[in-house]
Amino acid sequence: MNFDDFKGHIYLIDDDPSIRRSLAFSLSSVRYSIQTFDSPSAFLRDALPITPAVILLDIRMPEMTGLSLQNEMIARGRQTPIIFISGESQPTEIIEAMKKGAVDFLIKPFGLEPLMTAIDLALQKDKQQQSIKVMALNVRERFMRLTEKEREICRWMVKGYGNKEIANMNGSAPATVKLHRSRVLEKMNCASLSELMALAQDADRKILDIFTASEGESPHEPQRGTE
């Protein structure tokens, strides 16, 4: 397969060799790369780290179920999207799989078109996740270029505190805080406070951990006041 034609990678995990052969043939013919595994443990041991990727996962296997692998992936912090495939499943299994983030749950036999639709959706999700990871690393690198005092000021800035409030908290003059704020924005490559606050949030609008750490911060919240 020409690398320029690469659409994404599929980890196919199914204990039925005929299913593995059939799906591997069909999907490789439409520009996906495929790795097949006969068990979840083989996947955990041998899978190569590739992105964007999706896990095509049988729900019922003798050694370790698909749901058990999903739980293990969550425990390990691995976010590769999962599509479950099954010949027979209980409604409770489908509900649990979807609640824990599965992209889709397909019942065998299924056509190639709905499978490809689910795969493309999962690959798009993985691309977005990888983009967020890269952005978070970039933000962390910028943050670590700040001085200790600038990091302290930056953490209060993303919490919405103004110059006088921060000055009251750390004993600095408001003019000194204002100078630190301008340096923070410059080093973080942000044109405004609102841009910095957006940069400090993850996809769920929660403040990233580096902006909530206790290094250099006062244990007391500053008195709220005006800028």
Residues 39-72 pLDDT 10s: 999 999 999 889 999 999 999 999 899 999 999 9
Q: What does the angle CA 122 – CA 6 – CA 116 come to, to the nearest 5 degrees?
A: 40
Query: Between β-strands 82-86 and 32-37, what pairing exists: parallel, antiparallel or unpaired?
Result: unpaired
116 Cβ contact partners less than 8 Å away, ≥ 6 residues apart: 27, 30
Q: Is the pLDDT of residue 216 over 50?
A: no
Residues 99-109 pLDDT 10s: 999 999 999 88
What is d(CA 7, CA 190) in angstroms, rounded to the nearest whole number?
34
pTM value > 0.75: no
Residues 106-164 pLDDT 10s: 998 899 999 999 999 999 999 998 888 888 888 889 999 999 999 999 999 988 898 89
Residue 192: both structure tokens together: 């405004």
Q: Which residue has the higher pLDDT, 220 or 92?
A: 92
* Residue 2: pLDDT band with limits 50, 70, 90: low
What is d(CA 217, CA 169) in angstroms, rounded to the nearest whole number?
9
Q: Where are the alpha helices (DSSP H) in 107-147?
A: 112-144
**Weakest-pLDDT range from 11-15, 104-108, 170-174, 179-183:** 170-174
Instruction: State the average pLDDT over residues 162-187.
Output: 90
Strand order in the sheet with 82-86: 32-37, 8-13, 53-58, 82-86, 104-107
All domains in the chain, ordered by first residue? 3-137 (3.40.50.2300), 145-211 (1.10.10.10)
* Residue 219: pLDDT band with limits 50, 70, 90: very low
